[in-house]
Amino acid sequence: MLEMKENCEKCEVPTAKTAAACICSFECTFCVPCSDDMDRVCPNCGGELLMRPKRTLDV
């Protein structure tokens, strides 16, 4: 199951590349509501969850 992480690891909501999401330094990905819920701390590795920059168009 080594796919691109395109879903929140907690609630499975899709976090497409263009959607707002939070990511930790080990690339765990969560939606923003879940991240807020967890005080912006990754439950997997204890890292800080940061807002992932929205990607509009990769050239």
Binding status of residue 32 toward Zn ion by CB under 5 A: no
Q: Which of 17, 18, 26, 50 binds Zn ion (CB under 5 A)?
A: 26
In the bound state with Zn ion, the residue whose beta carbon lies nearer, of 20 and 47, is 47
Of 41, 43, 40, 36, give the one whose Cα is nearest residue 9: 43
Of 39, 38, 43, 35, give the one whose Cα is nearest residue 52: 35
Binding status of residue 31 toward Zn ion by CB under 5 A: yes
Q: Which helix (H) or strand (E) holds 21?
A: strand 21-23
User: Minimum distance from CB of 18 to Zn ion (Å)?
Assistant: 16
Binding status of residue 21 toward Zn ion by CB under 5 A: no
